[in-house]
Amino acid sequence: MSGTSYVLQNLLLRGRFGSEWAMGLHAVGDALVLLDTADVAAIAMSSGSIGLSYLYRGVTVDRDISTDANRAFAYQGVNLKPLSPIALTGNRDPSSNDWSLTWIRRTRDGGEWRDYVDASLGEATESYAIDVYADGSYAAVKRTITASAPSCVYASADQVSDFGANQATLYLKLSQISATVGRGYPLTTSITR
């Protein structure tokens, strides 16, 4: 809307609907585009279109198609990526030094709160990848643990094999796996016990 300006303050809710990964990308003075939900439509894409480039033109109402140039865009299936798990916790067994880790999964399929009913998985099977990193730089993966439920064990023998000693602190990236798009958004965290 030409000539119209808005002042937004204290009303932006960030990190909703799985967008918490983008929260740190915003800054004072960022441009904002006001969209009317009545005029916005998703372009339906099949999973077979993921990674394929198509040409688009952004032409507004009452403008000729020649007023914009072709722009290539490849659908990446971001709307299909599983959300990051939350609430990772765990304990280290004092006798065996095995780590037992648990977390809460999230879903893109519904997810509204209902008493005594879990949100649907949104996938045919439940699957996770837990990357164990050498340190807090999250640069070198020492081991990837796979799980088919929201829990796993990092055994003492594996810790000794990976690090030369049992670990009091773990640096982890935990992702739910989608059969369609692979790893979802990771929960990046550390845990000390």
Q: pLDDT tens digits for 36-54?
A: 888 788 888 888 999 999 9
| Residues 102, 169 share a domain | yes
Residues near 38 by Cβ (< 8 Å), separated by ≥ 6?
none
C-alpha dist (Å) from residue 142 to 20, 149, 160: 26, 22, 11
In a domain, residue 144? The reply is: yes
Sites in the chain below the pLDDT cut of 70: 1-3, 10-12, 111-113
CATH number for the domain that contains residue 119: 2.60.40.10
The pLDDT, as a whole number, for residue 191 is 98
The pLDDT, as a whole number, for residue 17 is 74
| Residues 174, 151 share a domain | yes
C-alpha dist (Å) from residue 149 to 6, 74, 83, 92: 47, 32, 15, 19
The pLDDT, as a whole number, for residue 90 is 97
